[in-house]
Protein backbone atom coordinates (compact mmCIF):
# COMPACT_ATOMS: atom_id res chain seq x y z
CA UNK A 1 0.00 0.00 0.00
CA UNK A 2 1.74 3.13 -1.18
CA UNK A 3 1.89 6.02 1.23
CA UNK A 4 0.65 9.54 0.65
CA UNK A 5 2.27 10.91 -2.49
CA UNK A 6 3.00 14.52 -3.22
CA UNK A 7 4.47 16.14 -6.29
CA UNK A 8 6.48 17.94 -7.12
CA UNK A 9 8.85 17.58 -4.17
CA UNK A 10 10.47 20.90 -4.95
CA UNK A 11 8.93 23.82 -6.82
CA UNK A 12 10.52 27.13 -7.72
CA UNK A 13 8.37 30.02 -8.85
CA UNK A 14 8.94 33.71 -9.52
CA UNK A 15 6.76 36.28 -7.84
CA UNK A 16 3.41 36.56 -9.61
CA UNK A 17 3.40 33.04 -11.02
CA UNK A 18 1.03 30.25 -10.06
CA UNK A 19 1.95 27.20 -8.00
CA UNK A 20 0.06 23.91 -8.19
CA UNK A 21 0.75 21.27 -5.57
CA UNK A 22 -0.65 17.74 -5.90
CA UNK A 23 -1.49 15.15 -3.31
CA UNK A 24 -2.59 11.56 -3.84
CA UNK A 25 -3.97 10.07 -0.61
CA UNK A 26 -3.38 6.53 0.55
CA UNK A 27 -5.64 3.98 -1.04
CA UNK A 28 -8.97 3.85 0.76
CA UNK A 29 -8.56 7.23 2.45
CA UNK A 30 -11.26 9.75 1.66
CA UNK A 31 -10.08 12.59 3.93
CA UNK A 32 -7.32 14.97 2.82
CA UNK A 33 -5.70 17.73 4.87
CA UNK A 34 -3.23 20.42 3.78
CA UNK A 35 -0.73 22.01 6.17
CA UNK A 36 1.94 24.67 5.73
CA UNK A 37 5.25 24.70 7.56
CA UNK A 38 7.20 27.92 7.62
CA UNK A 39 10.95 27.74 8.39
CA UNK A 40 11.65 26.89 12.03
CA UNK A 41 7.95 26.56 12.83
CA UNK A 42 5.39 23.81 13.36
CA UNK A 43 2.75 22.86 10.85
CA UNK A 44 -0.32 25.04 10.50
CA UNK A 45 -3.63 23.64 9.27
CA UNK A 46 -4.92 25.10 6.03
CA UNK A 47 -7.83 23.07 4.66
CA UNK A 48 -9.69 19.79 5.06
CA UNK A 49 -11.40 18.12 2.12
CA UNK A 50 -13.37 15.03 1.31
CA UNK A 51 -14.11 13.93 -2.22
CA UNK A 52 -15.59 16.91 -4.12
CA UNK A 53 -16.22 18.84 -0.86
CA UNK A 54 -14.33 21.39 1.20
CA UNK A 55 -15.17 20.62 4.82
CA UNK A 56 -13.06 23.20 6.66
CA UNK A 57 -10.96 25.94 5.07
CA UNK A 58 -10.59 28.07 8.17
CA UNK A 59 -6.78 27.97 8.00
CA UNK A 60 -6.44 29.00 4.39
CA UNK A 61 -5.80 32.62 3.35
CA UNK A 62 -8.90 34.14 1.79
CA UNK A 63 -7.10 35.40 -1.28
CA UNK A 64 -4.90 33.64 -3.85
CA UNK A 65 -5.24 30.18 -2.24
CA UNK A 66 -7.69 27.48 -3.29
CA UNK A 67 -7.98 23.72 -2.90
CA UNK A 68 -9.92 20.95 -4.50
CA UNK A 69 -10.30 17.18 -4.25
CA UNK A 70 -12.11 16.02 -7.37
CA UNK A 71 -13.95 12.76 -7.76
CA UNK A 72 -11.12 11.44 -9.88
CA UNK A 73 -7.47 12.35 -9.45
CA UNK A 74 -5.34 13.96 -6.78
CA UNK A 75 -6.11 16.82 -4.45
CA UNK A 76 -4.72 20.14 -5.70
CA UNK A 77 -3.57 23.12 -3.65
CA UNK A 78 -3.34 26.15 -5.91
CA UNK A 79 -1.58 29.40 -5.07
CA UNK A 80 -2.06 32.24 -7.51
CA UNK A 81 0.28 35.21 -7.89
CA UNK A 82 2.81 33.82 -5.43
CA UNK A 83 4.77 36.15 -3.14
CA UNK A 84 8.01 35.54 -1.24
CA UNK A 85 6.05 34.92 1.96
CA UNK A 86 4.49 31.83 0.37
CA UNK A 87 7.88 30.09 0.48
CA UNK A 88 7.35 27.12 2.78
CA UNK A 89 6.93 23.38 2.92
CA UNK A 90 3.39 22.26 2.14
CA UNK A 91 2.33 18.92 3.53
CA UNK A 92 -0.65 16.82 2.66
CA UNK A 93 -2.10 14.18 4.97
CA UNK A 94 -4.80 11.60 4.44
CA UNK A 95 -6.78 9.61 6.94
CA UNK A 96 -9.40 6.87 7.16
CA UNK A 97 -10.31 7.95 10.71
CA UNK A 98 -8.68 9.95 13.52
CA UNK A 99 -5.10 9.26 12.45
CA UNK A 100 -3.42 11.26 9.71
CA UNK A 101 -0.60 9.99 7.54
CA UNK A 102 1.64 12.56 5.94
CA UNK A 103 3.25 12.82 2.56
CA UNK A 104 6.86 13.92 2.02
CA UNK A 105 5.84 17.50 1.31
CA UNK A 106 6.40 20.02 -1.46
CA UNK A 107 9.00 22.67 -0.79
CA UNK A 108 7.99 25.87 -2.54
CA UNK A 109 10.56 28.57 -3.12
CA UNK A 110 9.44 31.91 -4.47
CA UNK A 111 12.21 33.99 -6.04
CA UNK B 1 -9.91 26.38 20.36
CA UNK B 2 -6.86 24.19 20.81
CA UNK B 3 -3.21 25.02 21.38
CA UNK B 4 -0.09 22.99 22.01
CA UNK B 5 3.03 24.10 23.86
CA UNK B 6 6.36 22.37 23.53
CA UNK B 7 8.46 24.05 26.17
CA UNK B 8 11.86 23.01 24.87
CA UNK B 9 12.87 24.08 21.39
CA UNK B 10 16.15 22.14 21.55
CA UNK B 11 17.18 19.14 23.64
CA UNK B 12 20.74 17.82 23.44
CA UNK B 13 21.34 14.42 25.03
CA UNK B 14 24.17 11.92 25.05
CA UNK B 15 23.80 8.61 23.29
CA UNK B 16 22.23 5.87 25.47
CA UNK B 17 20.93 8.45 27.97
CA UNK B 18 17.19 8.80 28.69
CA UNK B 19 15.18 11.68 27.26
CA UNK B 20 11.86 13.36 27.91
CA UNK B 21 10.28 15.82 25.48
CA UNK B 22 7.55 17.87 27.08
CA UNK B 23 4.14 18.69 25.64
CA UNK B 24 1.25 20.55 27.19
CA UNK B 25 -2.03 21.38 25.54
CA UNK B 26 -5.06 23.56 26.03
CA UNK B 27 -8.51 22.70 24.74
CA UNK B 28 -12.15 23.41 25.55
CA UNK B 29 -13.15 19.98 24.20
CA UNK B 30 -11.81 16.44 24.49
CA UNK B 31 -8.90 15.74 22.18
CA UNK B 32 -6.84 12.97 20.69
CA UNK B 33 -3.07 13.33 21.12
CA UNK B 34 -0.20 12.49 18.80
CA UNK B 35 3.56 12.62 18.52
CA UNK B 36 5.19 12.85 15.09
CA UNK B 37 8.87 12.77 14.12
CA UNK B 38 10.35 14.66 11.19
CA UNK B 39 13.77 13.81 9.78
CA UNK B 40 15.56 16.49 7.72
CA UNK B 41 13.79 17.32 4.47
CA UNK B 42 11.19 14.64 5.01
CA UNK B 43 7.53 14.41 5.92
CA UNK B 44 6.12 13.58 9.33
CA UNK B 45 6.05 10.03 10.62
CA UNK B 46 3.61 8.99 13.32
CA UNK B 47 5.41 7.87 16.49
CA UNK B 48 2.41 7.16 18.70
CA UNK B 49 -1.10 8.29 19.52
CA UNK B 50 -3.55 8.39 22.39
CA UNK B 51 -7.20 7.92 21.46
CA UNK B 52 -8.64 6.30 24.60
CA UNK B 53 -7.95 3.61 27.19
CA UNK B 54 -4.61 3.18 28.96
CA UNK B 55 -2.89 6.50 29.51
CA UNK B 56 0.54 5.01 28.79
CA UNK B 57 0.99 4.44 25.09
CA UNK B 58 3.90 2.78 23.35
CA UNK B 59 5.04 3.72 19.89
CA UNK B 60 7.67 2.89 17.35
CA UNK B 61 11.44 3.07 17.88
CA UNK B 62 11.14 2.47 21.64
CA UNK B 63 9.27 5.70 22.41
CA UNK B 64 6.38 5.96 24.84
CA UNK B 65 4.16 8.77 26.12
CA UNK B 66 1.81 9.24 29.05
CA UNK B 67 -1.43 11.17 28.89
CA UNK B 68 -2.09 13.15 32.06
CA UNK B 69 -5.51 14.73 31.88
CA UNK B 70 -5.24 16.74 35.11
CA UNK B 71 -1.99 18.33 33.97
CA UNK B 72 -3.07 18.45 30.29
CA UNK B 73 0.26 16.92 29.32
CA UNK B 74 1.47 14.27 26.92
CA UNK B 75 5.22 13.98 27.47
CA UNK B 76 7.32 11.74 25.21
CA UNK B 77 10.02 9.51 26.70
CA UNK B 78 12.69 7.08 25.64
CA UNK B 79 14.90 5.25 28.16
CA UNK B 80 17.98 5.11 25.92
CA UNK B 81 18.44 7.22 22.80
CA UNK B 82 20.38 6.38 19.68
CA UNK B 83 22.16 8.61 17.20
CA UNK B 84 19.40 7.88 14.68
CA UNK B 85 16.84 9.52 16.99
CA UNK B 86 18.24 12.94 16.07
CA UNK B 87 15.26 14.70 14.49
CA UNK B 88 12.47 17.22 15.07
CA UNK B 89 9.59 16.00 17.23
CA UNK B 90 6.11 17.49 17.06
CA UNK B 91 3.27 17.08 19.52
CA UNK B 92 -0.23 17.54 18.11
CA UNK B 93 -3.87 17.38 19.19
CA UNK B 94 -7.13 17.08 17.32
CA UNK B 95 -10.67 17.56 18.64
CA UNK B 96 -12.61 14.35 19.11
CA UNK B 97 -15.63 15.74 17.29
CA UNK B 98 -15.97 17.66 14.06
CA UNK B 99 -13.17 18.03 11.55
CA UNK B 100 -10.15 16.22 12.91
CA UNK B 101 -7.53 18.74 11.80
CA UNK B 102 -4.36 18.69 13.85
CA UNK B 103 -2.99 21.52 15.96
CA UNK B 104 0.77 21.30 16.27
CA UNK B 105 3.33 22.54 18.74
CA UNK B 106 6.38 24.39 17.45
CA UNK B 107 8.53 21.30 17.71
CA UNK B 108 11.51 20.12 19.75
CA UNK B 109 14.82 19.51 18.06
CA UNK B 110 16.41 16.42 19.65
CA UNK B 111 20.14 16.12 19.07
CA UNK B 112 21.85 12.93 20.21
CA UNK B 113 25.52 13.43 20.96
CA UNK B 114 27.90 10.51 20.41
Q: What percent of chain A has pLDDT over 70?
A: 99
* Residue among A7, A42, A102, A106 with most chain B CBs within 10 A, to mutate: A42
Quote the pLDDT of residue A25.
Answer: 95
pLDDT tens-digit map of B44-87: 999 999 998 889 999 999 999 999 999 999 999 999 999 999 99
The CATH code of the domain that includes B43 is: 2.60.40.10
Helix (H, G, I), strand (E, B) or coil at B102: coil
Quote the pLDDT of residue B43.
Answer: 85
- Chain A partners within 8 Å of B45 (Cβ): 102
> A75 falls in which pLDDT band (50, 70, 90)?
very high
Cβ–Cβ gap B99/A56 under 8 Å: yes
Q: How far is A69 from chain B (nearest CA, A)?
A: 16
Give B31-94 as a DSSP string. Answer: EEEEEEEE-TTS-EEEEEEE-SS-SEEE-GGG-EEEEETTTTEEEEEESS--GGG-EEEEEEEE
Domain extent for B70: 2-113
User: How many domains would you assign to chain B?
Assistant: 1
> A1 falls in which pLDDT band (50, 70, 90)?
low
- DSSP letter at B21? E
- Is A4:A94 a contact under the CB 8 Å cutoff? yes
B50 Cβ under 8 Å from any chain A Cβ: no
A:B CB pairs within 8 Å: 59
Amino acid sequence: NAGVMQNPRHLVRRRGQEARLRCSPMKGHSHVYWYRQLPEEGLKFMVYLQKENIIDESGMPKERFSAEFPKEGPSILRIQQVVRGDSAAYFCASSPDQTQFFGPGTRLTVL
Amino acid sequence: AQSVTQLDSQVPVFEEAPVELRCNYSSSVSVYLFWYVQYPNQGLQLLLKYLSGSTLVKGINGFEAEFNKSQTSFHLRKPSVHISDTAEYFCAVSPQTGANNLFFGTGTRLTVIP
